[in-house]
């Protein structure tokens, strides 16, 4: 960081008490002590105690001694101190800071400033610690003893260990499809309430499968200190859909795995990837090596890439990332790509992700904003167009991303390199980026990743900070689990995207008349053509006929609520696996959307619902990942909630005492409405309020929905003379979305 290093050893020392580990997300009281060094602190000099952007520790406050986060600050010599907190008053990634200025008086060597974070002496419960585990959560200290505002980092920084809490739910992860007789792995872990893998487990698990599984033990012990376990070498001898249940010793169901489709033969197999996330060396949490290890051993991913902000990646760290990707990459078991996030300003093209197929390639930064070594500044690519020019001869994959900045693919796009758009991450859900691509006539696939900042690739919970969603996953349909195999699949758009669930999905088109499939996008120039009768997601074809048959085969990790069949920006049909006669007492209220495209996209949905002339028998929240924002049932007629969306959706299901009686009254800052219960049916009632798909939807569901496996076929009339982009978007009842990459059919 570009601070002075002048006589750092004389700038003072800092310590934290107690040194005991604290549980992630718990309330704590910590005493921080700064002891002035040789120079003391002059009148109007100051110190800053700074925290990472990624940390979601509770906000310190200085006015209410009984409220959470109450923090007191005092000087041992009686000097008058000015104290404030700001989330953006220091250089990233150490944005958040407590600022302490000596206003009357000064400090000599040995004088102390004592800060009690979560001071409980007057009734405060303490300050809530960050929700993600981190072995060394720093209270980084910057000192300005000369009142010059040129700060110096102390040579030794105090820290505490933030550790996982006790387990609250179990996770069982299988691959999504394998051949009969082909070995596979079952991954197991328990997570605490904030999504950290818990090592506070001492339990025997019973394992039960709906199909015969060779090598599956009846039980397995999960010992203390272990965060995950894997059972390798399992096989199933005949086709079918496998689900493995986890139960405790008393037979209570703890979790069910995602479905595993066993097939006799397949040209391509699905592999799960989280291709985008960061570690503490840029703006994330925990080390880059921890990040790679988590992806493989705890996230149970097949494919990953570390994607740090380029303007923060020093040359030594770029070299280290290349060392890690080479060390972790293993053909057939785990694929790791070297790469970086090109983080250009929005007006210069916005975020792009770059994955190389081999190590030792250059990093083309959008700027050197946080890199002091300017010796390689000539390799910078300041605009997205410059980036594509710099990469034109590289063996790499590029996809468009939306984070703080958003990719403007209308401004810049290279169809040779940028084959996909990322429609979901921890930042939210952004279908409008796909719409931008389709409006421009681009033929792109659909990806979802986490852009996780909390060190949990493949299992990226948003915590209690600015992130509005659980991180996404991409399912890549490849010939082999190698860099070359995954890259070929990405370039052919043979993949689908989810908001974090692991669904089996197969989407195909069948043609009545002659059709030819292009080996590559014909917009790139001449390419080989093949006669075809069918196509899979990502394919580009030309057909003579006007009708295609679209088939969908989906097996969810939870019941499927709906399937939308789409052609470009048009939804052709919304199919539900149940009919009107199956509807029951359950109504669903959904809020969704975002304010606009940029950083301030958060939409606040804090509100309430009241039933008049009816009552609530049961209620279940949807996508309430941030435990600070809860759904509260006050009584049988009154619900309230705190909630926000950043493009995705949240909401609740309510089972009513009477199916059609009374009125539902909804009151939020953006939507206020009354709905007769009898009018709520199969179709959405939509109450819009501007923004990007910023609205509330209300509809009815069966009391229980058993439909996890859906097969359907639809005959679709093509639009002549243009690209038809045929794809589906599925919604699971548990709040997850799944998108197939489009099949592009030129009519």
**Residue 529 pLDDT more than 90?**
yes
- Return the pLDDT at 465: 76
- Return the pLDDT at 513: 84
Q: Residue 101: enclosing H or E segment and its boundaries?
A: strand 96-104
- Return the pLDDT at 81: 97
Q: Which CATH fold would you assign to the domain 8-163?
A: Immunoglobulin-like (2.60.40)
**Residue 1 pLDDT more than 60?**
no
Output the average pLDDT for the chain. 96
How many Å apart are CA 552 and CA 539, to the nearest integer?
A: 15
DSSP states of 168-207: -EEEEE--SEEETT--EEEEEEEE-TTSPBP----EEEEE
CB atoms within 10 A of CB 721: 7
How many Å apart are CA 626 and CA 428, to the nearest integer?
A: 13
- Return the pLDDT at 75: 98
Class of domain 503-577+712-747: mainly beta
Q: Are 84 and 99 in contact (CB under 8 A)?
A: yes
- Return the pLDDT at 392: 96
Q: Domain boundaries in the chain?
A: 8-163, 169-266, 277-500, 503-577+712-747, 579-701
- Return the pLDDT at 390: 98
| CA nearest neighbour of 724 among 700, 706, 742 | 742
pLDDT digits (tens, 9 = 90+) for 658-701: 999 999 999 999 999 999 999 999 999 999 999 999 999 999 99
**In CATH, which of 3.20.20.140, 3.40.50.920, 3.40.30.10, 3.40.50.300 is domain 277-500?**
3.20.20.140
| CA nearest neighbour of 120 among 20, 31, 50, 34 | 31
Torsional class of 693: left (φ above 0), alpha (ψ -120 to 50), beta (otherwise): left
Tell me the average pLDDT across 427-450.
Answer: 96
Q: Residue 291: enclosing H or E segment and its boundaries?
A: helix 288-297
- Return the pLDDT at 535: 97
H and E: helices and strands count for the chain: 5, 59
SS3 40: coil
Please report where in the chains the tokens 């990707």 appear, as a residue: 325
How many Å apart are CA 325 and CA 339, to the nearest integer?
A: 9
**Residue 200 pLDDT more than 60?**
yes
How many Å apart are CA 402 and CA 277, to the nearest integer?
A: 13
CB atoms within 10 A of CB 347: 10
How many Å apart are CA 475 and CA 261, to the nearest integer?
A: 14
Please report where in the chains the tokens 């009846």 appear, as a residue: 218
For residue 288, which phi and psi values (nearest 5 degrees)? -60, -40
pLDDT digits (tens, 9 = 90+) for 108-160: 999 999 999 999 999 999 999 999 999 999 999 999 999 999 999 999 999 99
Q: Residue 297: enclosing H or E segment and its boundaries?
A: helix 288-297
- Return the pLDDT at 549: 97
Strand order in the sheet with 30-35: 13-17, 30-35, 112-117, 71-75
Residues of the chain with pLDDT > 90, as a percent, come to 96
- Return the pLDDT at 721: 85
Rg for the chain, CA atoms, rounded: 27
Tell me the average pLDDT across 342-369.
Answer: 96
Please report where in the chains the tokens 């489009």 appear, as a residue: 742
pLDDT digits (tens, 9 = 90+) for 66-117: 999 999 999 999 999 999 999 988 998 999 999 999 999 999 999 999 999 9
Tell me the average pLDDT across 625-634.
Answer: 93
Residue 513 CB contacts under 8 Å (≥ 6 apart), including other chains:
543, 544, 545
Please report where in the chains the tokens 């923090």 appear, as a residue: 71
Q: How confident is the model at residue 191 (pLDDT cuts 50, 70, 90)?
A: very high
Strand partners, 566: 571, 727
Q: Residue 294: enclosing H or E segment and its boundaries?
A: helix 288-297
| CA nearest neighbour of 701 among 652, 631, 747, 638 | 652
DSSP states of 560-619: EEEEEEEETTEEEEEE-SS-GGG--SEEEEEEEEES-SSTT--EE--EEEEEES--EEEE
Q: Are 339 and 360 in contact (CB under 8 A)?
A: no
Architecture of domain 169-266: Sandwich (2.60)
Please report where in the chains the tokens 């920084």 appear, as a residue: 157
Sequence-separated contacts (24+) of 148-151 with Cβ below 8 Å: 150/3, 150/4, 151/3, 151/4, 151/48
| CA nearest neighbour of 421 among 27, 58, 430 | 430
- Return the pLDDT at 735: 97
How many Å apart are CA 98 and CA 88, to the nearest integer?
A: 11
Q: How confident is the model at residue 512 (pLDDT cuts 50, 70, 90)?
A: confident
Dihedral sign from CA coordinates of 318, 156, 18, 68: negative
pLDDT digits (tens, 9 = 90+) for 3-47: 899 999 999 999 999 999 999 999 999 999 999 999 999 999 999
Q: How confident is the model at residue 534 (pLDDT cuts 50, 70, 90)?
A: very high
DSSP states of 630-646: -EEEEETTEEEE--EES
- Return the pLDDT at 380: 97
- Return the pLDDT at 600: 80
In the chain, how long is the greatest CA-to-CA distance?
A: 89
Residues of the chain with pLDDT > 70, as a percent, come to 100
Tell me the average pLDDT across 321-347.
Answer: 97
Packing angle of the helix pair 288-297, 315-328 (nearest 10 deg): 20
Dihedral sign from CA coordinates of 360, 366, 369, 370: negative
Same fold, 8-163 and 503-577+712-747: yes
Residue 319 CB contacts under 8 Å (≥ 6 apart), including other chains:
none
Strand partners, 14: 34
Q: How confident is the model at residue 466 (pLDDT cuts 50, 70, 90)?
A: confident
């Amino acid at each position: 960081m570009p601070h002075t290093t002048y006589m750092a050893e004389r700038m003072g020392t800092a310590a934290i008490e107690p040194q005991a580990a604290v549980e992630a997300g718990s309330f704590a009281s910590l005493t921080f002590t700064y002891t002035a060094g040789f120079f003391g602190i002059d009148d109007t000099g100051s110190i800053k105690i700074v925290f990472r952007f990624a940390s979601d520790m509770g906000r310190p406050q200085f006015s209410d001694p009984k409220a959470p986060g109450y923090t007191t600050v005092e000087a041992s010599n009686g000097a008058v101190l000015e104290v404030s907190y700001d989330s953006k008053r220091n250089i990233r990634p150490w944005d958040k800071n407590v600022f302490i200025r000596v206003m009357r008086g000064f400090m000599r060597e040995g004088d102390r400033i004592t800060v009690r974070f979560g001071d409980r002496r007057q009734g405060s419960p303490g300050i809530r610690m960050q929700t993600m585990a981190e072995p060394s959560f720093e209270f980084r200290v910057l000192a300005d003893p000369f009142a010059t505002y040129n700060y110096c980092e102390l040579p030794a920084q105090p820290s505490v260990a933030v550790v996982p809490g006790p387990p609250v739910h179990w996770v069982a992860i299988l691959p999504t499809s394998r051949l009969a007789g082909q070995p596979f792995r079952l991954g197991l872990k328990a997570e605490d309430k904030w999504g950290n893998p818990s090592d506070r487990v001492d339990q025997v698990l019973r394992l039960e499968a709906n199909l015969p599984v060779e090598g599956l033990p009846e039980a397995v012990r999960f010992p203390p200190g272990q965060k995950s376990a894997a059972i390798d070498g399992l096989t199933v001898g005949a086709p079918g859909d496998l689900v493995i249940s986890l139960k405790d010793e008393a037979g209570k169901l703890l979790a069910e795995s995602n479905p595993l489709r066993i097939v006799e033969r397949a040209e391509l197999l699905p592999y799960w990837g989280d291709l985008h996330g960061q570690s503490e060396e840029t703006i994330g949490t925990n080390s880059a090596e921890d990040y790679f290890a988590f992806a493989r051993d705890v996230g149970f991913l097949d494919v990953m890439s570390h994607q740090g902000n380029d303007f923060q990646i020093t040359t030594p760290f770029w070299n280290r990332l290349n060392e890690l990707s080479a060390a972790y990459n293993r053909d057939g078991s785990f694929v790791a790509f070297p790469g970086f996030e090109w983080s250009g300003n929005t007006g210069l093209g916005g975020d792009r992700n770059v994955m190389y197929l081999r190590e030792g390639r250059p990093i083309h930064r959008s700027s050197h904003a946080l890199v002091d070594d300017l010796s390689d500044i000539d390799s910078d690519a300041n605009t997205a167009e410059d980036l594509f020019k710099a990469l034109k001869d590289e063996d790499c994959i590029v996809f468009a991303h939306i984070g703080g900045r958003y990719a403007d693919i209308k401004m810049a796009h290279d169809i040779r390199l940028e084959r996909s758009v990322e429609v979901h991450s921890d930042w939210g859900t952004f279908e409008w980026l796909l719409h931008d691509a389709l409006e421009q006539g681009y033929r792109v696939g659909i990806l979802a990743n986490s852009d996780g900042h909390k060190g949990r690739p493949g299992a990226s919970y948003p915590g209690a900070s600015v992130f509005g969603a659980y991180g996404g996953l991409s399912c890549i349909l490849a010939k082999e689990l190698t860099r070359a195999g995954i890259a070929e699949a990405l370039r052919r758009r043979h993949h689908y995207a989810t908001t974090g669930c692991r669904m089996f999905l197969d989407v195909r088109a069948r043609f009545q008349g002659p059709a030819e499939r292009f080996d590559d996008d014909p917009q790139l120039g001449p390419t080989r053509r093949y006669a075809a009768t069918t196509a899979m997601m990502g394919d580009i074809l030309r057909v003579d006929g006007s009708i295609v048959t679209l088939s969908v085969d989906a097996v969810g990790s939870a019941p499927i609520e709906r399937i939308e069949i789409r052609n470009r920006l048009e939804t052709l049909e919304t199919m539900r696996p149940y009919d009107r006669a199956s509807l029951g007492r359950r109504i669903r209220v959904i809020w969704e959307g975002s304010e606009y495209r940029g950083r301030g996209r958060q939409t606040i949905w804090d509100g309430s619902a009241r039933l008049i002339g009816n009552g609530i028998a049961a209620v279940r929240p949807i996508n309430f990942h941030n435990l600070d924002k809860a759904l509260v049932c006050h009584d049988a007629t009154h619900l309230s909630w705190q909630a926000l969306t950043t493009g995705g959706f949240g909401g609740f299901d309510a089972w009513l005492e009477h199916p059609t009686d009374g009125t539902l009254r909804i009151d939020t800052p953006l939507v206020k409405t009354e709905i007769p219960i009898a009018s709520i049916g199969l179709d959405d009632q939509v109450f819009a309020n501007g923004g990007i798909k910023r609205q509330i939807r209300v509809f009815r569901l069966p009391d229980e929905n058993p439909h996890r496996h859906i097969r359907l076929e639809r005959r679709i009339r093509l639009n002549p003379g243009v690209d038809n982009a045929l794809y589906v978007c599925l919604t699971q009842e548990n709040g997850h979305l799944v998108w197939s990459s489009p099949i592009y059919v030129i009519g």
